[in-house]
Amino acid sequence: MTVLPIQMRGVARRFGSKTVLDGLDWEVGPGQVIGLLGRNGAGKSTLMECLLGLREIDGGSIALFGESPDALSDATRARIGYVPQKSDLFDWMTPLQMLDYFKALYPRWNDAKVEGLLGRWGIDVAMRNRPIRRLSGGEQQRLSIIRALAHDPDLLVLDEPVSALDPAGRRDFLTELIDGVIERGTTVVFSTHILTDLERVALDVAFLKGGRIVLEGDLDDLLDGAAGQVVNGVHQPKSLEDLFIEVTR
């Protein structure tokens, strides 16, 4: 029996009087590429932070590769990659210094991939030796993604990873996701508001509403199912956008 990368049962999380996560059950199997959708403020970032153990939970249990997030072993930590919504890089270091720093800490590090990504994603030599705080938001976000991919993780958690990227950057990211990540069978969980990107890459989607996962399943099946609705004798096809608005109403 393979260990599930993510297993959440009855997870609850409150901020003061506001309940953000309310008895949430969720499981993500190995190799799944799942998109997390929800309105602004629905708790997607909180869900990801609680999942990885960055915030405590007020109830329920979480298992990451079978381990509880507050007692992760170093081996499991090396299998997880995370791209937060607000870039979390050390802004006084240069990109090269930052990557060297993490290379010293992670057991597995793919130099060729890092070199390739830095080259393909437009982080040229001049930029590599400039402190990160001097880079633009898009460049910092790309660097965040490179850092998360560099150690070939088995679980990749991405919180709006392309919000600051232009369409070309998004396409580059999707290509890398397909080529380097999905091919290797990595489990990918990501949240984004750009539904076209999600549709291309995600096989499953989960909708977060009212502190729970209200709808989850294969994207194509969900769209087909929604399209199967017959109104006034005519098929009413639904796009992912329509489905999103309806489910999270």
Partner 1 sequence: MTSHSPQLFSIVPGSTEPIYRQLVEQVRRLVAGGQLAPGDALPSVREVALQLAVNPMTVSKAYGLLELESVLERRRGVGMLVADRPRKRSGEGDINARLALLRPTLERAAREARELELDPDTVLSLFKAILKESP
Partner 2 sequence: MSPRIALYGLLWRAALAQVHPYAHRIVLWLTPVLSLAAVVLAWKVYGPATAASWGANALCSMTLLTWTWGFLPGAFKLNSPANAQLTPGMRARLLELAMTVWMLCIAGLALANAGSPSDVVLRVVWWMVASLGMALAATGNGAGSVVILAIWPLMGLPSVIPDWAHAMMAHPAFLPLLAALLVAPGLLTIRTIFPCAGDRHWRQLEKRNVWRDTDGLRNREDGRFMRWWQARSLRRASGRRDLGAMLLHGGGPGLQVGGIVLGIAGLGLVGLALVGLMHLGNYSRAAELALEMGWMWSLLPLILFQMHTLMLANLTEKPAGQSLLRLAPAMPATAPRFNRLLASTLLRSSLLAWAMATVTALACSILTGAGGDEVLMVASMCCLALPTMILPLRNHAHRSRYNSVLQWLLGLAIAGVCLLVAVVVRGVLALPVFPIAAVFSVLLVVAMTARRYRSMVRAPFAFPAGRLD
What is the contact surface with partner 1 in residues (CB under 8 A)? 33, 171, 174-175, 178-179, 182-183, 195-197, 199-203, 219-220, 223-224, 227, 234-235, 237-242
From residue 126 to residue 165, the character string flagging contacts with partner 2 as x (rule: CB under 8 A) and all else as - is -------x--------------------------------
| C-alpha–C-alpha distance, residues 138 and 69, integer Å | 30
Report how far apart the first and last C-alpha atoms of the chain are (Å, whole number): 38
Q: Choose the one of partner 1, partner 2, none that binds residue 241, judging by a C-beta under 5 to 8 angstroms depending on kind.
A: partner 1
Q: What share of the chain is helix, strand, coil (3-state, %, to 5)?
A: 40, 25, 35
From residue 23 to residue 62, the character string flagging contacts with partner 2 as x (rule: CB under 8 A) and all else as - is -----------------------------xxxxx------
Q: Choose the one of partner 2, partner 1, none that binds residue 228, judging by a C-beta under 5 to 8 angstroms depending on kind.
A: none
CB of 81 to partner 2, least distance (A): 8
Q: Choose the one of partner 2, partner 1, none that binds residue 80, judging by a C-beta under 5 to 8 angstroms depending on kind.
A: partner 2
- Among 224, 176, 208, 165, CA closest to 34: 208
CB of 243 to partner 2, least distance (A): 32
CB of 62 to partner 2, least distance (A): 13
Residue with tokens 């299998």: 79
Pick 41 or 225: Cβ nearer partner 1:
225
- Residue 194 identity: I
Which residues form the interface with partner 2 (CB under 8 A)? 52-56, 69, 72, 74-75, 77-78, 80, 82, 84, 88, 90-93, 97, 100-102, 104-107, 133
